[in-house]
């Protein structure tokens, strides 16, 4: 069974709205969950998020919140160019070089 089949249409709609920036209770309500208090709506949303976290690949989770490879590369490049200290610039360059395969972790 694929990951998309594990979620009902309402659950998928909630995830789309929530990751799009809607408040949890508003996303749950807009996804079609009705007749519940704000607390119950939030509990439903948290349960759907927990299910997503348990079944989704970490890369998919980061992508849903806007952390694509391109976005991360842009932010790291910006840090290198605009860092207020050489230390911050060096850390950003170190991360970039690891991502590019220029550095390898040593085994201990």
Positive or negative torsion for Cα 48, 49, 52, 53: negative
Question: How does pLDDT run along the chain (108 residues), one tens digit per residue?
Answer: 344 458 899 999 999 999 888 999 999 999 999 877 989 999 999 999 999 999 988 888 888 878 888 888 998 999 999 999 999 999 999 999 988 888 776 666
CB 95 within 8 A of CB 104: no
* Cα 18 from Cα 95, distance rounded (Å): 30
Helix (H, G, I), strand (E, B) or coil at 93: helix
User: Is the whole-model pTM more than 0.85?
Assistant: no
Report which of 8, 7, 40, 2 is spatially closest to residue 24, judged by C-alpha positions. Answer: 40
Report which of 58, 48, 61 is spatially closest to residue 13, judged by C-alpha positions. Answer: 48
């Amino acid at each position: 069974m694929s990951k998309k089949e594990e979620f009902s249409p309402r659950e998928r709609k909630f995830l789309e709205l929530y990751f799009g920036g809607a408040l949890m209770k508003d996303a749950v309500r807009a996804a079609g969950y009705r007749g519940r208090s704000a607390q119950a709506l939030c509990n439903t949303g948290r349960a759907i998020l927990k299910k997503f976290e348990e079944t989704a690949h970490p890369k998919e989770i980061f992508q849903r919140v806007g952390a694509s490879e391109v976005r991360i590369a842009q932010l790291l490049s910006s840090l290198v160019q605009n860092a207020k200290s050489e230390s911050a610039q060096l850390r950003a360059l170190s991360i970039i070089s690891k991502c590019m395969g220029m550095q390898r972790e040593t085994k201990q």
